[in-house]
Chains A and B, each alone.
Chain A
Amino acid sequence: MSDMKETIRNFIQSDIANDNESISYDTPLMSSGIIDSITALQLVSFLEDTFKIEFQPHEVDQENLETIDTIAKFVASKQSGV
């Protein structure tokens, strides 16, 4: 799980956030505006490719993508088929 979180964090830090924004596992991403509609889709594509999961449109929301913790939890639940 921590590897997964780190992989996600690295992606967000390098491809989405800027250098000034230090991203931790509980940094709000959507409500703070770090992730917007387009970058949410970039993140979803990254998660689908990296973790071999498939998102549904309604899953692209704050409930699943608000922090790295919630993203990792969501990806894990997808992988386990829950």
Chain B
Amino acid sequence: MKQVKNWVIITALLILIVAAEWIYHFSGSIQLLSLLGLSVIICLLLQTKAQKYATLVLIFGFLAASFWFLPLKQFLSFTAIFTITGVFITRSKIPRIFKYGLLLLYLIIIVFLKFQIPLYIYKGIQLSMILLMFRALIYLYDIQFLKSHNPKSFDFFYLGIYTNIPAPFFPVIDYKSLNPSNIFNPDTTDILRGLNIVLRGIVHLIAYRLIYQYFVPGLDDVDDAVSAFHYLVTSYLMIMRMSGLLWLSVGFFYLMGIRLPDIFQNYFLASGFDDFWRRINIYWKNFMLKIFYYPIFFKLKKFGFQKAVVFTTFSLFIISWLLHIYQALIISGHYNFRLTDALFWVVFGLLVCSVQIVPSISKNFLSKNTYLASVRKTLGIVTTFLTITILWSIWMSPNFWDWKILMQLLFSFSLQEFSIFLIGTLILVFVGAYFYLFLGKYDKPRPTTGKVSAFEVTFNSLIVALSILFFMVGERGYFDPKLNTSFSKFVQNPLNANDKDKQFDGYYDQIIDDNANKVLSNANTGKALEQWKKLSDTEILKSTDNILLKELKPNISESFKKFTFSTNEYGFRDKFYSENKPDSTLRFILLGGSIEMGSGVSDDETFESVAESSLNKLDSIPQIEIINMACSSRNIIHDLYVLDNQTDSFHPDGIIMFHHEREWHAICNYFGKLYREGKASQLYPEIKNILDKYPHLENASNWGRKTLLKDQKMEIMAAMYSRIKSIAKARNLKILWIYLPEITNVSASLDTSLLKLVDGNEFYVCDYSQIFDGYTRDSLLTSSFDTHPNREGHAIIAARLKNDLINFVKKYKNNE
């Protein structure tokens, strides 16, 4: 009866997991559904007579997973390279040093020979190393001391655990603690426990997605102590993505009958730095203890227990740092030395060492079940959480300067803010202590065998079921439109503001190139992205040393983002216009960047082309010409240069300028590039004088630059617009200035100080903040990974531009 009950619960949990993953794709490139399907087949095989050949069943898992997740050529190269390496490591009698040597050779190939060998062989070596990078070290260490050897097929299974194939970020599983004689025979309790752990992982990923989509403030909004604190805490909470993914991996082991202990233990409840180290990624800690900590300690213990412990502990963190470099080298093929990485591990090591030196409060006092002891414990939890939050921000910062700016903001609090923080913390400690007094007894490692906690299964199932229910309610249109739009963010999981910034910085282009696994595990996406080149990677862009100019090559006809891309003899993405303007024609010049150029649409679909055609079908206004002089990656500084130097010969009557939401972001990015390349001297002097007051502009990330320059933003913009106004006045040009938001921003609005500035310059201002309202935003994008408008998006802009140009023309006609 109990068996039947267990199978019913197992089926229900499986349905929940499949439904949640199907809807939300929580696991991303790990492809939980494929792994789950394969694991269920393996689990069922292990229930039958095939159990006798358990390790062979699992080697079948290895082959099946490789075949499923990899393109054919990579599958062949990976399985061949991995098998030869596995046999070499497990069966050959040669000294261990040569086996380490082979791993080193692979590492050298990964780092230095990326473009020298065929890609499928490179990927085969890289994926082999992803699987072997830590487990081969553990294996080679453990087999020295084993009293009896495991079957070689088991060793091969251990090195090539199939669930690791789509997941480069994988728990560091110990070899010695896996005993083939009492595993590979999962009973219903194991399966139940495994699925519950997978559910636990999904709950972590749900929490992560909530934080990522709704709670992390955009870095652009981080400009004071409160927002810096908010950003730090929510950024640290996003660690739940890591724990969620690792829990998923651990859950799968139970389906093979491998009973692994907890990999995390309520790490947010760590009450000290050493306690945090004990609770976070426990397998990593155990790996470090076994391979490095104990051997180093035994070498040093002759200097005295205390000294040996402190030195060994500190050295452990330095080794952790080096191993993360090793891991990054294997997964991405390169490693950029970052001061913040070194700082994180050194400070973390010093904090843990300090606990060994400073006498701590009596363990007996803390273990007492009294409110006072609970208060002390909760105080420790809050202090550790806050310290780790700051420590974590060091690791997460792209560079030291950004972290310094963030800390300057954090410590710029007022007395009132500090008082509120202090009172809030004290309330948290005293109220939290009550909870800890009653619930603290549950804060301990869960057993790997015996009854599965009914409470936890119910809790996890409820959370996941609720997420499914929300989706069903939303799908049936029961939410009001605002809530529905907001909820769709949770379902579709678009990049949040900070990641979008990285996308605009080219970060994702780099990631796409670097993240071998992404390409390995999702061949279709990888292929699509390979076709999605940046303009700078094509033959379309003209190379120039002039930092103020970006130009297209003249007379080209290429395919760009799968659409025809042609330029005229001047290098404009437009038809030919003679320099001499025809009589009774109004001529406008369109300046701008990639959207205006028409990135992601064909030549005749750009909003400029569509608006021009439809305007010329009207009789009420003169003939209109719009010359598209836009080019990708331009900002207002480039536009100013083009206006000053390239427009005059075409005798325009007016200029159409677009201002984008990310204009300031693009400008600051551009400043950083100029300073890094030592070309800032070519900037307009009034801008350079402002920028020269700020050291380290080239070192900080774009957020750092934006934060440093935030008080100068309007001064810089005013200087640019003042030059534009002078040129326009001298040449009798009218300026049509348009604010265009991003398609995906549902709450865009034009900055009032900017509006005041352009109004003051006598521009004709059009605010397109609401232009995409009422449309399904995603249907207006070029692709899921490119936020430029597609044909429909351009048509919407064209329709609006047409009307605005009619009004613009009428206004100036009347004035004349």
Contact = CB atoms under 8 A, between A and B. Distances in A.
Contact of A18 (B145, B176, B265, B363): B363
B507 interface: no
Nearest to A63: B176
A32 B295 contact: no
B298 A56 contact: yes
A6 interface: no
- Contact residues of B: prevailing secondary structure: helix
A55 B301 CA distance: 12
Contact of A20 (B142, B274, B367): B367
A33 B298 CA distance: 22
Interface string A42-55: 10010000000001
B363 A32 contact: no
Interface stretch (B66-74, B286-294, B727-735): B286-294
A24 interface: no
Given A31-B445, A41-B305, A41-B309, A57 B367 contact: no
A36 B270 CA distance: 14
B45 to A, nearest CB: 30
Contacts of B177: 62
B287 to A, nearest CB: 12
Contacts of A61: 176, 290
Contacts of B278: 33, 36-37
B269 to A, nearest CB: 13
A61 B293 CA distance: 12
Contacts of B285: 37
Contacts of B555: none
B428 interface: no
B145 A58 contact: yes
A41 to B, nearest CB: 6
Interface residues of B, number: 30
Interface in A54-78: 55-58, 60-63
Contacts of A20: 367-369
B218 to A, nearest CB: 40
A38 B364 contact: no
A58 B265 CA distance: 25
A21 B367 CA distance: 9
A19 interface: yes
A67 to B, nearest CB: 15
Interface in A1-45: 18-21, 31-33, 36-38, 41-42, 45
B261 interface: yes
A57 B356 CA distance: 20
A60 B367 contact: no
Contacts of B265: 33
B445 A32 contact: yes
A61 B294 CA distance: 10
Interface in B113-142: 141-142
Contacts of A60: 294
B44 interface: no
A35 to B, nearest CB: 11
Interface residues of A, number: 21
B366 interface: yes
Given A32-B444, A33-B445, A58 B294 contact: yes
B367 to A, nearest CB: 4
Contacts of A21: 367
Contacts of A37: 278, 285, 289, 293
B292 to A, nearest CB: 10
B348 interface: no
B297 interface: yes
Contacts of B295: 57
B445 A45 contact: no
Q: Which one of B144, B298, B356 has the highest number of Cβ atoms from chain A below 10 Å of its Cβ?
A: B298
Contact of B367 (A19, A33, A41): A19
Given A31-B261, A33-B278, A63-B176, A18 B366 contact: yes
Nearest to B355: A38
A31 B367 CA distance: 18
A38 B363 CA distance: 14
B507 to A, nearest CB: 38
A43 to B, nearest CB: 12
A28 B141 CA distance: 26
A11 B297 CA distance: 21
Given A41-B305, A45-B305, A63-B176, A19 B293 contact: no
Contacts of B176: 61, 63
B446 to A, nearest CB: 10
Q: Which one of A20, A21, A55, A57 has the highest number of Cβ atoms from chain B below 10 Å of its Cβ?
A: A57
Contacts of A58: 141-142, 144-145, 290, 294
Contact of B364 (A18, A31, A63): A18
Given A20-B367, A57-B297, 10 more contacts: A18-B363, A19-B368, A33-B265, A33-B444, A36-B274, A37-B285, A38-B274, A45-B305, A58-B145, A58-B294
30 contacts: A18-B364, A18-B367, A19-B364, A19-B368, A20-B368, A21-B367, A31-B261, A32-B444, A32-B445, A33-B278, A33-B444, A36-B274, A37-B285, A37-B289, A37-B293, A38-B274, A38-B309, A38-B356, A41-B294, A42-B305, A45-B301, A55-B298, A56-B298, A57-B294, A57-B295, A57-B298, A58-B141, A58-B144, A60-B294, A63-B176
